[in-house]
C-alpha cells in the first residue's frame, strides 16, 4: 500500500483485476474508498450515489450468479453495489440545491436538451432523463473509488453485466434506487499487462476554422 502514489501513477497503473486473493479487506480501507466516492462532483451537487458493501459469502455467491459467474465476481472478498437514486434528480431537494448554487454564483440556470437524447433512444423521456443524469454522476464517484483503490494496494473491476431486476428484488431496493454497477474489491492476485490504447491523435481533433453561431 502506498498512499503517497500520485494521481498520474494511479491512472497509469490501474488495471481491471479479475483474480483476487482471499485476504479480507480492512474496514478502514473500505471507508476510504467510500469517502473518495462521497467527495466526487455531481450536477447541482445532487450526489445521487448510494452504496452497499456486500461481504456475506452466500450473498457474494448470489451476486456472482446474477453476473453470469464472471471470474472477478466469484473471487472477490467483497462487492460494492453502486446504485443511483432517481429521486435525487427531481423535486424540492434538487431545486433548493440549484437555488443555493445560483445565489453563490456557481452557475447560471441552463437547461439540458434531453429531447436530443430521447430522439436517439426509446422509452419514457422523463425517466430516461433521470436515469442518464444519475448514471453519469454515479460513474464519476465509482471511478474515484477505482483510482483510490490503486493507492491502497487494492484492485477493482467495473462490472455492468448482471441481472439488475433480480438484484433489486433480492436486496429489497426501493424503485428509486437502481443498481448500475457491481464493483468487486480485493487484493490483486495478478498483474495484468497494459491493454492497448488509442493514440492522442486518434481521440482528438481540431475545431473547424469557422463555426455557425
In 3-state terms, what secondary structure has residue 104? coil
Q: CA end-to-end span of the chain, whole Å?
A: 52
pTM of the shown model: 0.84
Question: Quick one: how far is CA 58 from the chain centroid?
Answer: 24
**Is the pLDDT at 89 greater than 80, yes or no?**
no
What angle do helix axes 125-151 and 27-38 make, rounded to 10 degrees?
130
Beta-bridge partners for 178:
84
174 vs 107, higher pLDDT: 174
In the chain the domains, ranked by start, together with CATH numbers, are 7-192 (3.40.109.10)
**Is the pLDDT at 196 greater than 50, yes or no?**
yes
Express each pLDDT in 92-123 by its tens digit: 556 566 566 566 665 454 444 445 444 444 55
Sequence-separated contacts (24+) of 203-206 with Cβ below 8 Å: none
Q: What is the mean pLDDT of residues 23-41?
A: 97
How many other CB atoms sit within 10 Å of the CB of residue 61? 13
Amino acid at each position: 500500500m502506498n498512499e503517497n502514489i500520485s494521481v498520474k501513477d494511479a491512472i497509469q497503473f490501474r488495471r481491471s483485476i479479475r483474480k483476487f486473493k482471499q485476504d479480507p479487506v480492512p474496514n478502514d480501507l473500505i471507508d476510504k474508498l467510500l469517502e473518495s466516492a462521497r467527495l466526487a462532483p455531481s450536477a447541482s451537487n445532487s450526489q445521487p450515489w448510494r452504496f452497499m458493501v456486500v461481504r456475506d459469502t452466500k450473498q457474494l455467491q448470489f451476486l456472482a450468479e446474477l453476473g453470469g459467474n464472471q471470474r472477478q465476481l466469484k473471487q472477490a472478498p467483497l462487492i460494492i453495489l453502486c446504485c443511483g437514486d432517481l429521486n435525487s434528480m427531481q423535486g424540492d431537494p434538487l431545486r433548493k440545491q440549484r437555488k443555493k448554487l445560483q445565489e453563490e454564483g456557481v452557475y447560471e440556470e441552463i437547461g439540458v436538451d434531453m429531447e436530443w437524447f430521447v430522439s436517439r433512444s426509446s422509452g419514457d423521456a422523463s425517466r430516461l432523463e433521470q436515469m442518464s443524469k444519475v448514471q453519469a454522476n454515479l460513474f464519476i464517484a465509482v471511478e474515484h473509488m477505482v483510482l483510490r483503490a490503486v493507492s491502497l494496494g487494492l484492485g477493482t473491476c467495473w462490472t455492468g453485466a448482471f441481472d439488475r431486476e433480480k438484484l433489486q428484488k433480492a436486496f429489497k431496493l426501493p424503485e428509486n434506487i437502481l443498481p448500475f454497477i457491481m464493483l468487486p474489491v480485493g487484493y490483486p492476485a495478478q498483474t495484468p499487462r497494459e491493454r492497448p490504447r488509442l493514440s492522442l491523435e486518434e481521440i482528438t481533433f481540431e475545431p473547424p476554422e469557422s463555426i455557425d453561431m
